[in-house]
Amino acid sequence: MARKASIIGGGVIGGGWAARFLLSGWDVAVFDPDPQAERKIGEVMANARASLPALSDGPMPAEGRLSFAKSVGEAVQGAEYIQESVSENLGLKHRVYAQIQEAAPTTPIGSSTSGFKPSELQEGAKNPAVIFVAHPFNPVYLLPLAEVVPSAKNDAKTIENAKEILREIGMFPLHVRKEIDAHIADRFLEAVWREALWLVKDGIATTEEIDEAIRMGFGLRWGQMGLFETYRIAGGEAGMKHFMAQFGPYLSAEWTKLMDVPEFNEELVDLIAGQSDAQSGHHTIRELERIRDQNLIGFLRVLKDRDWGAGKILKDHDKRRRATMPAPSPDTAQPMEMARMTVLPGWIDYNGHMTESRYLFASSETCDAFLRHIGADVAYVGTGFSYYTAETHIMHLGEAKLGDALTGTVQVLHADEKRLHIFIRILKDGSEVATLEQMLLHVDMKAGRTASAPQAILDRLLPIAEAHKALSRPAAAGRHVGQRKG
Amino acid sequence: MARKASIIGGGVIGGGWAARFLLSGWDVAVFDPDPQAERKIGEVMANARASLPALSDGPMPAEGRLSFAKSVGEAVQGAEYIQESVSENLGLKHRVYAQIQEAAPTTPIGSSTSGFKPSELQEGAKNPAVIFVAHPFNPVYLLPLAEVVPSAKNDAKTIENAKEILREIGMFPLHVRKEIDAHIADRFLEAVWREALWLVKDGIATTEEIDEAIRMGFGLRWGQMGLFETYRIAGGEAGMKHFMAQFGPYLSAEWTKLMDVPEFNEELVDLIAGQSDAQSGHHTIRELERIRDQNLIGFLRVLKDRDWGAGKILKDHDKRRRATMPAPSPDTAQPMEMARMTVLPGWIDYNGHMTESRYLFASSETCDAFLRHIGADVAYVGTGFSYYTAETHIMHLGEAKLGDALTGTVQVLHADEKRLHIFIRILKDGSEVATLEQMLLHVDMKAGRTASAPQAILDRLLPIAEAHKALSRPAAAGRHVGQRKG
């Protein structure tokens, strides 16, 4: 039987928790008096279903069963874990805990509160030992962080058990050892929020300028290393102490309105430098730089693929560069050079070699450029017709490595109304690293069958096919796998 | 002739600027009296060469020429742009500007300063109109942000020209309209830094816990949307005003040591809500959620591939799930099921279909699992031997779409000491979407030639090959591209 979680409060946060449990195979009972709760949770679930499975490399468990309870008592019946995400109102939370513990006095209750300390949540409870903070971050179904904050009244076993359940649903429980208002992360968010309000109010920057200042710079860093590891690198070979010697003095400068600062003495420097060593000392600064850079490239490539944020800048930069370069005008008297590529970090395996499927990727890029050249571009595909690859033969002849510059050429072996038989060479410094023979069929996508290409495309394709009849036929064309050479 | 930039101060920041210019094809002259400057810049360049080109989808320009000048005057000779990155010491900066303007009185001078305002930099200068702030973020060669801050003394043309040069080298110039201490981004960094120092000093959290609180949660968000766009989504359908009504009251709470806060009145709320509409109002909240989620998946997948930060959590989660699933024990009396995969968002094209090269990727995953099964795993490759694919024939028989569950099976057609001839089927609901015939060769990687597989592998492989002799030979085996069926 599936395990059961109970979600009290079904807004964006409660819905995110429900989604994590359901997609991990748990049954979930939700209680929320809002008549819109079912719709709202449904919307969060739709987002979660469209995204969370993409993080897994294995099959997902069968989705759990979602139900909506008519009372808190009904919702918590048989639940192994309860997550409370009602409004940030302490009196309301206390009333909810009383109702929960009426029906389920020993079940662990995590609260999504960002503002209250566990000792405040526990006040007046029948069984305070099972109530603690489990503070998530929106979108709950994707971001791993949950700050788990106990008070002295919690027993260690309850907390360890809760952390295990959070790991079970893919989260990262950060055990906050001392309770404090706003836990840890929200102290930073609040500090930044206040500073941002001042900047907007004083007319220094707009919301958009502030967002750009974050996501084009330090925001990218913080997705992969936090504050201290980033600054450890900034300190360079001289390390964290050196960084602090540089940055420390600013604390007594008068340029901020946030003035109550800790004394920047030897003791604090040693404390931080020591903790930073324990955290990151197993990597050299050089290693950390490389790790950081590869992470940043990954992030930036993601944004480039999605044409968003910093990725837009990269796209614009490519466009700007292309504009200053001569346009390709492939010569039809020889195999036509249709694509130039650089072997990117995501293309290589743990040995540093280009991974097998990327040879077909490079070939597809070459073939796509050729299809665009004869008029079968994205706009054409939008009309419901396309060239589909039916069959491919690949010869692996050499190895490409990170950073290698590759070119892709196309030789047309045969073309008619429906068929396009081509031979693609992937070259590195003029030598073949792979050749690919392909049969493409012109397809009516809606009808799901082959169809004649329109005259406009044939007018561009057939003269190339005619010119390429003069080229010598590649030895690998017509070859089957395992055929003897010669 | 290449354009020339001059870099005064060759530390990590100056080196990062040099790298951006050089890799954009500019010549660069560096002046830094530090005898280690050449080595330090060389190290930054090595990092930049290993990463920056991976952001470009076109060929990179030929790298510019790097030279080290013996004086400021020599370094700025013939430069079109000068970037100053000396220590944060105003007197030193003034002396450097005087030396620069002795030799090149009208050349634009951007300063990397994070602390000084442009009007401070300009004090006492011969030509203050060409001195401004161009504040970058480490690593300068990857992060696009440069805060460009002029004072009233700069002429608009100098600033526009500088912004154009920054775009030219792939940066995002953020024009800060009013000069202010620490510009924009560093006000946030400083606020977070102070809060972090308190947390460490008070023993609430270690540097590592603080870093996890950042990179497992809001840090991931900020690489793609900033503070306000993120909170706009958190406000949900009710929007930014609703979010502020919820979050605003905290400003008067007593839980932080950073107490000087702007009055949270109607006017401020309207100002922010209006700016947020202008910034993000062309997307619905639902659209913003989907954009955010896809960006986050991209980031998380990058980190998972690199086994770093939040990606480690995902890997551990997969491992944990696998441990609860029955181990595969493929039956050798039929083609062996070696892999199960889900079609992920990164695998599909703009039409929603699995992209061509991903069929080979799915096949590689299947083949890799088979190789692991016979003992040719990563550890084995570490000994210097491996199976390389020499030749592949692919039949495309159906279409896979986002979320489809695929399985990959292996049938051994022939195996001997050196050769492994296999037939892979990629199945969706039991039907073939693609078949792949492959010839793999056992290779001595160091010698670069084929070699006999060791007995331990043959002992596992040959019995499978023997058992598979009983299977009927696939019709597509031995086929060449374009061969008639039948």
Whether residue A60 is predicted with pLDDT greater than 80 in this model: the reply is: no
Going by the DSSP 8-state scheme, the letter that residue A376 receives in this structure is -
Single out the residue of A257, A254, A236, A258 nearest to residue A245, CA to CA. A236
* A375 lies in some domain: yes
B220 to A223: CB separation less than 8 angstroms, yes or no: yes
Whether A366 and A460 map to the same domain: the answer is: yes
Cα torsion angle, B137, B140, B143, B144, sign: positive
Which CATH number is B423's domain given? 3.10.129.10
Cα–Cα distance for residue pair B277/B270, rounded to 1 Å: 10
* B111 lies in some domain: yes
Instruction: Please spell the DSSP secondary structure of B334-386, one letter per residue.
Output: S-EEEEEEE--GGGB-TTSBBPHHHHHHHHHHHHHHHHHHTT-SHHHHTTTEE
Q: Which residues of chain A are within 8 Å of residue B261 when distances are taken between CB atoms?
A: 194, 197
A61 to B321: CB separation less than 8 angstroms, yes or no: yes
Question: How many Cα neighbours within 13 Å face the side chain of A119?
Answer: 8
Please list, in sequence order, all residues whose beta carbon lies within 8 angstroms of the beta carbon of residue A206, skipping any fewer than 6 positions away.
A200, B275, B278, B279
Q: Which residues of chain B are within 8 Å of residue A477 when distances are taken between CB atoms?
A: 481
* A329 lies in some domain: no
Dihedral over alpha carbons A298, A299, A303, A305 (to 10 degrees): 20
C-beta of residue A47 within 8 angstroms of C-beta of residue A142: no
* A23 lies in some domain: yes
B272 to A188: CB separation less than 8 angstroms, yes or no: no
User: Which residue among B55, B217, B350 sits closest to A301, beta carbon to beta carbon?
Assistant: B55
Instruction: Please spell the DSSP secondary structure of B99-156, one letter per residue.
Output: HHHHH-TTS-EEE--SS--HHHHHTT-S-GGGEEEEEE-SSTTT--EEEEE--TTS-H
Give me the phi and psi of B429, to 5 degrees please: 50, 40
Q: Which residues of chain A are within 8 Å of residue B147 when distances are taken between CB atoms?
A: 213
| Band of pLDDT at residue A259, cut at 50, 70 and 90 | low
Residue with tokens 């469209």: A50
- Strand B145-149 to strand B131-136: parallel, antiparallel, or no bridges (unpaired)? antiparallel
Radius of gyration of chain A (CA): 30
pLDDT at A255: 42
Of A301 and A172, more confident: A172
| Band of pLDDT at residue A329, cut at 50, 70 and 90 | low
Return the SS3 of B395.
Answer: strand
> Distance of CA B177 to CAs A177, B151, B191, B267, B431, Å?
43, 9, 21, 21, 62
* A365 lies in some domain: yes
Whether B118 and B136 map to the same domain: the answer is: yes
Cα–Cα distance for residue pair A183/B199, rounded to 1 Å: 10
Whether B57 and B150 map to the same domain: the answer is: yes
Cα torsion angle, B220, B225, B228, B232, sign: negative
Q: Could you tell me the pTM of the whole model?
A: 0.77
Whether A56 and A129 map to the same domain: the answer is: yes
A51 to B297: CB separation less than 8 angstroms, yes or no: yes
A290 to B185: CB separation less than 8 angstroms, yes or no: no
A258 to B253: CB separation less than 8 angstroms, yes or no: no
Of A242 and A160, more confident: A160
Last residue of a domain, one of A238, A273, A295: A295
B172 to A313: CB separation less than 8 angstroms, yes or no: yes
Please list, in sequence order, all residues whose beta carbon lies within 8 angstroms of the beta carbon of residue B452, skipping any fewer than 6 positions away.
B417, B418, B442
Distance of CA A6 to the CA centre of its chain: 28
Of A325 and A29, more confident: A29
Please list, in sequence order, all residues whose beta carbon lies within 8 angstroms of the beta carbon of residue B180, skipping any fewer than 6 positions away.
A202, A204, B117, B187
Whether B88 and B228 map to the same domain: the answer is: no
Q: Compute the average pLDDT of residues A194-209.
A: 89
* B231 lies in some domain: yes
Strand extents, DSSP E, A185-344: 336-342
Going by the DSSP 8-state scheme, the letter that residue A257 receives in this structure is S
What is the extent of the structural domain holding B118?
A: 4-175
- For B257, other C-beta atoms within 10 Å of its C-beta total 16
Whether residue A283 is predicted with pLDDT greater than 70 in this model: the reply is: yes
Whether A113 and A191 map to the same domain: the answer is: no
User: Which residue among A147, A223, A388 sits closest to B223, beta carbon to beta carbon?
Assistant: A223
A262 to B201: CB separation less than 8 angstroms, yes or no: yes
Whether B193 and B170 map to the same domain: the answer is: no
Cα–Cα distance for residue pair A419/A442, rounded to 1 Å: 6
B211 to A227: CB separation less than 8 angstroms, yes or no: yes
Whether B274 and B340 map to the same domain: the answer is: no
Cα–Cα distance for residue pair B432/A115, rounded to 1 Å: 55
pLDDT at B222: 94
Q: Tell me the one-letter amino acid at B228.
A: F
Dihedral over alpha carbons B144, B147, B153, B158 (to 10 degrees): 10
pLDDT at B459: 95
Cα–Cα distance for residue pair B254/B360, rounded to 1 Å: 60
Render pLDDT for A136-194 as a digit per residue (tens, 0 to 9): 999 999 999 999 999 999 999 999 999 999 999 999 999 999 999 889 999 999 889 88
Q: Which residues of chain A are within 8 Å of residue B395 when distances are taken between CB atoms?
A: 390-391
Residue of B nearest to A137 (CA): B217
Cα–Cα distance for residue pair B28/B44, rounded to 1 Å: 14
Q: How many domains does chain B have?
A: 3
Whether B203 and B352 map to the same domain: the answer is: no
* B96-105 per-residue burial string, b: 16 or more CB within 10 A, e: under 16: bbebbbebbe
Q: How far is B176 from chain A (nearest CA, A)?
A: 7
What ipTM was estimated for this complex? 0.77
Cα–Cα distance for residue pair B43/B134, rounded to 1 Å: 23
Q: Which residues of chain A are within 8 Å of residue B255 when distances are taken between CB atoms?
A: 181-182
* A258-290 per-residue burial string, b: 16 or more CB within 10 A, e: under 16: beebeebeeebeebbbebbeebbeeeebeebbb
User: Which residue among B58, B318, B414 sits closest to A57, beta carbon to beta carbon?
Assistant: B318
Q: How far is A77 from chain B (nearest CA, A)?
A: 26
C-beta of residue A155 within 8 angstroms of C-beta of residue B187: no
Residue of B nearest to A225 (CA): B215
User: Which residue among B197, B227, B345 sits closest to A268, beta carbon to beta carbon?
Assistant: B197
Return the ∠ at Cα B58 (arms to B53 and B61), rounded to 5°: 65
> Distance of CA B452 to CAs A430, A438, B255, B369, B443, Å?
32, 32, 71, 21, 8
The H or E element spanning position A12 is helix A12-23
Last residue of a domain, one of B262, B295, B328: B295
Give me the phi and psi of A419, to 5 degrees please: -110, 145
C-beta of residue A108 within 8 angstroms of C-beta of residue A162: yes
* A304 lies in some domain: no
Q: Which residues of chain B are within 8 Å of residue A86 when distances are taken between CB atoms?
A: none
Q: Which of B3, B52, B188 to mutate to test the interface with A (most CBs of A within 10 A)?
A: B188
* B477 lies in some domain: no
Whether B73 and B169 map to the same domain: the answer is: yes
Q: Which residues of chain A are within 8 Å of residue B88 when distances are taken between CB atoms?
A: 246
Please list, in sequence order, all residues whose beta carbon lies within 8 angstroms of the beta carbon of residue B405, skipping any fewer than 6 positions away.
A59, B340, B341, B342, B428, B429
Single out the residue of A429, A309, A438, A306 nearest to residue A368, CA to CA. A438
B54 to A393: CB separation less than 8 angstroms, yes or no: no
Single out the residue of A165, A56, A191, A55 nearest to residue A110, CA to CA. A165
> Distance of CA A418 to CAs A390, A409, A415, A443, A446, Å?
12, 22, 8, 8, 16
Residues of chain B short of pLDDT 70, as ranges, are 57-59, 237-239, 245-264, 325-329, 345-346, 350-351, 486
Between chain A and chain B, how many beta carbons pairs sit less than 8 Å apart? 554
Cα–Cα distance for residue pair B387/B451, rounded to 1 Å: 10
Whether A341 and A411 map to the same domain: the answer is: yes
Q: Which residues of chain B are within 8 Å of residue A475 when distances are taken between CB atoms?
A: none
pLDDT at A197: 85
Residue with tokens 């009309």: A383
Last residue of a domain, one of B175, B193, B214: B175
Render pLDDT for A61-115 as a digit per residue (tens, 0 to 9): 889 999 999 999 999 999 999 999 999 999 999 999 999 999 999 999 999 999 8
Please list, in sequence order, all residues whose beta carbon lies within 8 angstroms of the beta carbon of residue A327, skipping any fewer than 6 positions away.
none
Whether B209 and B171 map to the same domain: the answer is: no
Please list, in sequence order, all residues whose beta carbon lies within 8 angstroms of the beta carbon of residue A155, skipping any fewer than 6 positions away.
A129
Render pLDDT for A426-483 as a digit per residue (tens, 0 to 9): 999 999 999 999 999 999 999 989 999 999 999 999 999 999 999 999 999 999 998 8
Cα–Cα distance for residue pair B97/B121, rounded to 1 Å: 9
A191 to B192: CB separation less than 8 angstroms, yes or no: yes
pLDDT at B404: 87
Residue of B nearest to A384 (CA): B351
